[in-house]
Structure 1
């Protein structure tokens, strides 16, 4: 029942997701024949802040739920699986600069009764607001890449990637849902829709 409920959540999240995803795949592989999968988990990461046992468990559970919803079975023996699946996680510090134009030009005055909502006054967190009306934001960009691999040749067959601004996640449940939404968005593109087209 837990897997069925998780698969249902996956379908809801996928339908509502606005997560940007890019994919690439082999055009000479018949994805319609994929019926099972096995895990080829990556080696233990050096950066445990980005990837650790807790994150790994969330990624594996989310991929399992997505594949279950697609009718794929998890094979106990990797040698008998149609494909292998693995993932990579990354995180990078980013700076965004936005030009909002002049508050004085747009309003004729500074609407200081709402200064708490103005960038640089603390409402938006890590930001600075300069006299030339540039909003400089520091944020972390997370990357999740999921690979589908041929179990016999170890050749890459399909890859899905998303890069997102990392939100503030305070609880384990928020982190689980963030991973579930991200994985669901990526695997919504698998198998390739036009893979069987000539």
Structure 2
């Protein structure tokens, strides 16, 4: 009986740990009038406040452009909307990982418990993409997320990371209307 309880406790602890590690999807917000807009062309611009090096800025801009083209939009000098991105790095974010283990008592027999808290820190990158009306300069659709920064070993791994993040961010953005 004790082995089953212990197995159950360990299984629940592992599932709780994994659930705590998973991140939610991107946050999306938009104006209600957005659904009526007939958008076909776009341009990409970096926010002047973006805190990112030039090479990663190019990777993000390329990922945004590729995703929007895949959705049927066309790049233009005088676009229907501007995809403006902003990036910032949040340094040394603790992971808030903890693990606990305990065993109860039965009759005269007792048990003990073990607990630990691991709080390693890891840089996170916050990425936001705003769709802006070029005439009014007002945002009509916005999405954002935060991701842990992996240890990049190659330029290709950086590009793959930013492609994946931008794909996740723009997934809810609708395809171009034909």
Query: What displacement does 1:96 show?
Result: 2.3
Q: Is 1:39 matched with 2:22?
A: no
Question: Post-superposition, which runs of at least 4 consecutive aligned residues in structure 1 deviate over 4 A?
Answer: none
Q: CA RMSD in A?
A: 2.5
Q: SS state of the match for residue 125, structure 2?
A: strand
Q: SS state of the match for residue 141, structure 2?
A: strand
Alpha-carbon distance in 2 for matches of 1:88, 1:145: 5
Q: TM-score, normalised by structure 2?
A: 0.72
Q: SS state of the match for residue 101, structure 1?
A: strand
Q: 1:26 aligns with which of 16, 22, 31?
A: 31
Alpha-carbon distance in 1 for matches of 2:82, 2:55: 21
2:80 counterpart residue number = 82
User: Which ranges of structure 2 fall in alignment gaps of 5 or more residues?
Assistant: 1-22, 104-110
Pair 1:132–1:59, CA change in 2 (3 A): same
Q: Deviations over 1:88-136 (max 9, x none)?
A: 111112112322113x85xx9xxxxxxxxxxxxxxxxxxxxxx741122
Query: What displacement does 1:32 show?
Result: 5.2
For CA contacts below 8 A with separation 6 or more, give which structure has more relative contact order. Answer: 1
Q: TM-score, normalised by structure 1?
A: 0.66
What is the number of equivalent residue pairs in this alignment? Answer: 145
